[in-house]
Structure 1
Amino acid sequence: MRLLRSTDLALRVLMRLAVADGTTPTTRDVAAGMEVPYTHAAKVVAELQHLRLLDARRGRGGGLALTEEGRTASVGAVVRAFEGEGDVVDCEGSAPCPLNSGCRLRAALRRAQEAFYASLDPLTVRDIVADPTGPLLLGITRR
Protein backbone atom coordinates (compact mmCIF):
# COMPACT_ATOMS: atom_id res chain seq x y z
CA MET A 1 0.00 0.00 0.00
CA ARG A 2 1.27 3.45 -0.85
CA LEU A 3 0.22 6.57 1.04
CA LEU A 4 -0.84 9.75 -0.70
CA ARG A 5 1.64 12.61 -0.54
CA SER A 6 -0.84 14.61 1.49
CA THR A 7 -1.04 11.82 4.08
CA ASP A 8 2.73 11.65 4.37
CA LEU A 9 2.95 15.42 4.67
CA ALA A 10 0.20 15.52 7.30
CA LEU A 11 2.05 13.02 9.47
CA ARG A 12 5.31 14.93 9.07
CA VAL A 13 3.62 18.25 9.93
CA LEU A 14 2.14 16.72 13.08
CA MET A 15 5.51 15.25 14.03
CA ARG A 16 7.26 18.57 13.40
CA LEU A 17 4.77 20.45 15.55
CA ALA A 18 4.95 17.82 18.30
CA VAL A 19 8.61 18.76 18.86
CA ALA A 20 8.21 22.51 18.32
CA ASP A 21 9.42 23.18 21.91
CA GLY A 22 7.33 26.30 22.46
CA THR A 23 7.85 27.84 19.04
CA THR A 24 5.02 28.39 16.60
CA PRO A 25 6.36 27.90 13.08
CA THR A 26 4.35 29.23 10.18
CA THR A 27 3.06 27.16 7.32
CA ARG A 28 5.82 28.68 5.19
CA ASP A 29 8.44 27.63 7.76
CA VAL A 30 7.13 24.08 7.81
CA ALA A 31 6.93 23.90 4.00
CA ALA A 32 10.48 25.22 3.64
CA GLY A 33 11.81 22.87 6.31
CA MET A 34 10.22 19.88 4.60
CA GLU A 35 11.11 21.10 1.13
CA VAL A 36 7.54 20.93 -0.17
CA PRO A 37 5.55 23.57 -2.05
CA TYR A 38 3.80 26.06 0.22
CA THR A 39 0.45 25.40 -1.49
CA HIS A 40 0.64 21.68 -0.63
CA ALA A 41 1.54 22.42 2.97
CA ALA A 42 -1.26 25.00 3.23
CA LYS A 43 -3.87 22.47 2.06
CA VAL A 44 -2.64 19.87 4.54
CA VAL A 45 -2.53 22.42 7.37
CA ALA A 46 -6.09 23.49 6.56
CA GLU A 47 -7.29 19.88 6.74
CA LEU A 48 -5.41 19.25 9.99
CA GLN A 49 -6.99 22.38 11.41
CA HIS A 50 -10.43 21.18 10.27
CA LEU A 51 -9.73 17.88 12.07
CA ARG A 52 -8.86 19.95 15.19
CA LEU A 53 -5.36 18.49 15.35
CA LEU A 54 -3.64 21.85 15.14
CA ASP A 55 -4.34 25.53 15.66
CA ALA A 56 -3.31 28.04 13.01
CA ARG A 57 -3.13 31.71 13.87
CA ARG A 58 -2.53 34.48 11.38
CA GLY A 59 -0.59 37.68 11.78
CA ARG A 60 2.12 38.80 14.11
CA GLY A 61 2.71 36.23 16.80
CA GLY A 62 0.79 33.69 14.77
CA GLY A 63 1.84 30.29 13.57
CA LEU A 64 1.00 26.65 13.97
CA ALA A 65 0.58 24.76 17.23
CA LEU A 66 -0.44 21.20 17.90
CA THR A 67 -3.58 20.80 19.98
CA GLU A 68 -3.81 18.27 22.80
CA GLU A 69 -6.13 16.31 20.51
CA GLY A 70 -3.35 16.40 17.93
CA ARG A 71 -0.78 15.01 20.37
CA THR A 72 -3.00 12.09 21.27
CA ALA A 73 -4.45 11.49 17.80
CA SER A 74 -4.27 7.96 16.50
CA VAL A 75 -1.92 7.67 13.55
CA GLY A 76 -4.37 5.22 12.01
CA ALA A 77 -7.19 7.77 12.29
CA VAL A 78 -5.07 10.47 10.66
CA VAL A 79 -4.14 8.14 7.81
CA ARG A 80 -7.79 7.13 7.34
CA ALA A 81 -8.86 10.79 7.30
CA PHE A 82 -6.41 11.64 4.54
CA GLU A 83 -6.62 8.42 2.54
CA GLY A 84 -10.39 8.15 2.60
CA GLU A 85 -12.50 5.06 3.02
CA GLY A 86 -12.06 3.71 -0.50
CA ASP A 87 -10.87 0.24 -1.43
CA VAL A 88 -7.29 -0.47 -2.45
CA VAL A 89 -8.52 -1.25 -5.97
CA ASP A 90 -11.48 0.24 -7.81
CA CYS A 91 -13.62 -2.68 -8.92
CA GLU A 92 -16.65 -0.51 -9.66
CA GLY A 93 -15.01 2.23 -11.75
CA SER A 94 -15.90 3.36 -15.25
CA ALA A 95 -15.11 -0.14 -16.53
CA PRO A 96 -16.34 -2.51 -13.78
CA CYS A 97 -14.30 -5.67 -13.30
CA PRO A 98 -15.96 -8.71 -14.91
CA LEU A 99 -14.91 -10.81 -11.90
CA ASN A 100 -16.71 -8.50 -9.47
CA SER A 101 -19.49 -10.91 -8.54
CA GLY A 102 -17.13 -13.77 -7.62
CA CYS A 103 -13.79 -12.15 -6.88
CA ARG A 104 -11.88 -13.19 -3.77
CA LEU A 105 -9.07 -10.68 -4.30
CA ARG A 106 -11.14 -7.65 -3.36
CA ALA A 107 -12.03 -9.08 0.06
CA ALA A 108 -8.43 -10.11 0.68
CA LEU A 109 -7.19 -6.63 -0.18
CA ARG A 110 -9.82 -5.06 2.08
CA ARG A 111 -8.67 -7.27 4.98
CA ALA A 112 -5.05 -6.33 4.30
CA GLN A 113 -5.97 -2.64 4.24
CA GLU A 114 -7.81 -2.93 7.56
CA ALA A 115 -4.85 -4.82 9.07
CA PHE A 116 -2.60 -1.96 7.94
CA TYR A 117 -4.85 0.61 9.63
CA ALA A 118 -5.28 -1.56 12.72
CA SER A 119 -1.51 -1.70 13.17
CA LEU A 120 -1.42 2.13 13.15
CA ASP A 121 -4.47 2.69 15.37
CA PRO A 122 -2.73 2.23 18.75
CA LEU A 123 0.08 4.66 17.83
CA THR A 124 -0.35 8.31 18.71
CA VAL A 125 1.54 11.33 17.43
CA ARG A 126 3.17 11.50 20.85
CA ASP A 127 4.37 7.90 20.42
CA ILE A 128 5.97 8.45 17.04
CA VAL A 129 8.05 11.41 18.21
CA ALA A 130 9.37 9.67 21.32
CA ASP A 131 13.13 9.04 21.59
CA PRO A 132 15.08 8.72 19.39
CA THR A 133 12.83 10.39 16.79
CA GLY A 134 12.02 13.60 18.69
CA PRO A 135 15.63 14.70 19.21
CA LEU A 136 16.41 13.88 15.57
CA LEU A 137 13.47 16.00 14.43
CA LEU A 138 14.67 18.88 16.62
CA GLY A 139 18.11 18.66 15.07
CA ILE A 140 16.67 18.79 11.57
CA THR A 141 14.31 21.68 12.27
CA ARG A 142 16.98 23.88 13.87
CA ARG A 143 19.17 23.91 10.75
Structure 2
Amino acid sequence: MRLTAFTDVSLRLVMRLAVAREGELLTTRDAAGMLHVPYTHMAKAVARLAEMGLVEARRGRGGGLRLTEAGRRSSVGAIVRELEGAGDLAGCEDDPPCPLRAACRLRVALWQAREAFYVSLDGVSVESLVSSPTRQTLTLLREDGSPVENPV
Protein backbone atom coordinates (compact mmCIF):
# COMPACT_ATOMS: atom_id res chain seq x y z
CA MET A 1 0.00 0.00 0.00
CA ARG A 2 1.23 3.49 -0.78
CA LEU A 3 0.28 6.50 1.30
CA THR A 4 -0.88 9.64 -0.40
CA ALA A 5 1.46 12.62 -0.43
CA PHE A 6 -1.07 14.40 1.80
CA THR A 7 -0.78 11.73 4.50
CA ASP A 8 3.02 11.81 4.24
CA VAL A 9 3.09 15.61 4.71
CA SER A 10 0.66 15.35 7.62
CA LEU A 11 2.73 12.70 9.40
CA ARG A 12 5.94 14.69 8.92
CA LEU A 13 4.24 17.70 10.49
CA VAL A 14 2.95 15.68 13.44
CA MET A 15 6.44 14.29 14.00
CA ARG A 16 8.07 17.73 13.91
CA LEU A 17 5.49 19.20 16.27
CA ALA A 18 5.96 16.25 18.64
CA VAL A 19 9.55 17.34 19.30
CA ALA A 20 8.87 21.06 19.68
CA ARG A 21 10.40 22.56 22.79
CA GLU A 22 8.13 24.02 25.48
CA GLY A 23 6.69 27.25 24.12
CA GLU A 24 8.06 26.72 20.60
CA LEU A 25 5.40 27.54 18.02
CA LEU A 26 6.17 26.92 14.36
CA THR A 27 4.36 28.77 11.64
CA THR A 28 2.94 26.86 8.71
CA ARG A 29 5.56 28.51 6.50
CA ASP A 30 8.41 27.48 8.85
CA ALA A 31 7.16 23.89 8.97
CA ALA A 32 6.84 23.78 5.18
CA GLY A 33 10.44 24.96 4.79
CA MET A 34 11.81 22.58 7.40
CA LEU A 35 10.08 19.59 5.88
CA HIS A 36 10.65 20.49 2.19
CA VAL A 37 6.96 20.77 1.41
CA PRO A 38 5.17 23.46 -0.63
CA TYR A 39 3.42 25.95 1.63
CA THR A 40 0.00 25.25 0.09
CA HIS A 41 0.34 21.51 0.80
CA MET A 42 1.38 22.21 4.37
CA ALA A 43 -1.51 24.63 4.88
CA LYS A 44 -3.97 21.93 3.78
CA ALA A 45 -2.37 19.41 6.13
CA VAL A 46 -2.52 21.90 9.02
CA ALA A 47 -6.21 22.55 8.33
CA ARG A 48 -7.07 18.85 8.24
CA LEU A 49 -5.04 17.98 11.35
CA ALA A 50 -6.66 20.89 13.20
CA GLU A 51 -10.09 19.64 12.10
CA MET A 52 -9.15 16.22 13.50
CA GLY A 53 -8.15 17.82 16.81
CA LEU A 54 -4.50 16.76 16.53
CA VAL A 55 -2.97 20.18 15.91
CA GLU A 56 -3.84 23.56 17.39
CA ALA A 57 -3.31 26.38 14.90
CA ARG A 58 -3.40 29.92 16.27
CA ARG A 59 -3.33 32.88 13.90
CA GLY A 60 -1.73 36.27 14.32
CA ARG A 61 1.09 37.63 16.39
CA GLY A 62 2.28 35.01 18.84
CA GLY A 63 0.39 32.34 16.94
CA GLY A 64 1.65 29.13 15.46
CA LEU A 65 1.21 25.38 15.48
CA ARG A 66 1.16 23.08 18.47
CA LEU A 67 0.50 19.36 18.75
CA THR A 68 -2.49 18.76 21.02
CA GLU A 69 -2.58 16.15 23.75
CA ALA A 70 -4.84 14.06 21.49
CA GLY A 71 -2.23 14.34 18.74
CA ARG A 72 0.50 13.25 21.12
CA ARG A 73 -1.53 10.21 22.25
CA SER A 74 -2.73 9.15 18.78
CA SER A 75 -1.58 6.01 17.11
CA VAL A 76 -0.12 6.31 13.65
CA GLY A 77 -2.74 3.81 12.49
CA ALA A 78 -5.59 6.04 13.65
CA ILE A 79 -4.07 9.08 11.94
CA VAL A 80 -3.40 7.27 8.66
CA ARG A 81 -6.82 5.60 8.69
CA GLU A 82 -8.52 8.99 9.07
CA LEU A 83 -6.37 10.75 6.47
CA GLU A 84 -6.49 8.00 3.86
CA GLY A 85 -10.20 7.32 4.24
CA ALA A 86 -12.04 4.21 3.19
CA GLY A 87 -11.92 4.75 -0.56
CA ASP A 88 -11.86 1.97 -3.08
CA LEU A 89 -8.36 0.58 -3.66
CA ALA A 90 -9.16 -1.05 -7.00
CA GLY A 91 -11.49 1.47 -8.63
CA CYS A 92 -14.49 -0.83 -8.48
CA GLU A 93 -16.88 2.13 -8.57
CA ASP A 94 -15.14 4.06 -11.37
CA ASP A 95 -17.16 5.33 -14.29
CA PRO A 96 -18.01 2.95 -15.80
CA PRO A 97 -18.01 0.62 -12.78
CA CYS A 98 -16.14 -2.66 -12.96
CA PRO A 99 -18.43 -5.38 -14.37
CA LEU A 100 -17.00 -7.90 -11.87
CA ARG A 101 -17.84 -5.90 -8.72
CA ALA A 102 -20.99 -7.85 -7.82
CA ALA A 103 -19.10 -11.14 -7.47
CA CYS A 104 -15.47 -10.07 -7.11
CA ARG A 105 -13.27 -11.45 -4.35
CA LEU A 106 -10.40 -9.04 -5.07
CA ARG A 107 -12.27 -6.15 -3.47
CA VAL A 108 -12.62 -8.05 -0.17
CA ALA A 109 -9.00 -9.23 -0.26
CA LEU A 110 -7.77 -5.67 -0.81
CA TRP A 111 -9.98 -4.37 2.00
CA GLN A 112 -8.56 -7.03 4.35
CA ALA A 113 -5.00 -6.18 3.31
CA ARG A 114 -5.60 -2.48 3.96
CA GLU A 115 -7.05 -3.23 7.39
CA ALA A 116 -4.03 -5.41 8.23
CA PHE A 117 -1.80 -2.50 7.21
CA TYR A 118 -3.70 -0.10 9.49
CA VAL A 119 -3.71 -2.59 12.37
CA SER A 120 0.07 -2.91 12.12
CA LEU A 121 0.30 0.89 12.49
CA ASP A 122 -2.16 1.00 15.40
CA GLY A 123 0.62 -0.16 17.74
CA VAL A 124 2.93 2.66 16.65
CA SER A 125 2.61 5.84 18.70
CA VAL A 126 3.55 9.32 17.60
CA GLU A 127 6.02 9.42 20.49
CA SER A 128 7.73 6.21 19.31
CA LEU A 129 8.20 7.74 15.85
CA VAL A 130 10.20 10.61 17.28
CA SER A 131 12.49 8.76 19.65
CA SER A 132 16.27 8.97 19.11
CA PRO A 133 17.91 9.40 16.65
CA THR A 134 14.89 10.85 14.81
CA ARG A 135 14.25 13.36 17.62
CA GLN A 136 17.65 15.01 17.16
CA THR A 137 17.24 15.22 13.40
CA LEU A 138 13.79 16.78 13.69
CA THR A 139 14.81 19.34 16.30
CA LEU A 140 17.85 20.42 14.31
CA LEU A 141 16.02 21.21 11.08
CA ARG A 142 16.27 24.82 10.01
CA GLU A 143 13.53 26.72 8.24
CA ASP A 144 15.16 26.01 4.88
CA GLY A 145 14.99 22.27 5.59
CA SER A 146 18.72 21.74 6.09
CA PRO A 147 20.10 20.35 9.36
CA VAL A 148 22.05 22.58 11.70
CA GLU A 149 25.78 21.96 11.27
CA ASN A 150 27.80 20.88 14.34
CA PRO A 151 25.19 21.56 17.05
CA VAL A 152 26.68 22.25 20.47
TM-score above 0.5, yes or no:
yes
Q: Kindly report the root-mean-square deviation, in angstroms, between the aligned alpha carbons of the 2 structures.
A: 1.3
Shift of 1:34: 1.3
Q: TM-score, normalised by structure 2?
A: 0.88
Q: Across the two proteins, how many residue pairs are aligned to each other?
A: 143
Q: Deviations over 1:107-142 (max 9, x none)?
A: 111111000000011212111111222122122346
TM-score, normalisation: structure 1: 0.93
- Moved segments of 4+, more than 4 Å: none
C-alpha distance in 1 between matches for 2:130 and 2:14: 9
Question: 2:140 aligns to what SS in structure 1?
Answer: helix
Instruction: Show the 5 A alignment for 1:17-36.
Output: 17-22=17-22, 23-36=24-37
State how 1:1-143 maps to structure 2 within 5 Å. Answer: 1-22=1-22, 23-141=24-142, 143=148
Counting aligned pairs with the same residue, the percent is: 55
SS at match of 1:100: coil
* Aligned equivalents of 2:135, 2:73: Cα separation in 1: 15
Q: Which runs of 5+ in 2 are unaligned?
A: none
Structure having the larger proportion of residues in helix: 1
CA distance in 2, matches of 1:136, 1:90: 39
Q: How much does 1:36 deviate?
A: 1.4
For structure 1, the 5+ residue unaligned runs are none
Question: Displacement, 1:37?
Answer: 1.3
- Alpha-carbon deviation of 1:101? 2.4
> How many angstroms does 1:2 deviate by?
1.1
SS in 2 for 1:17: helix
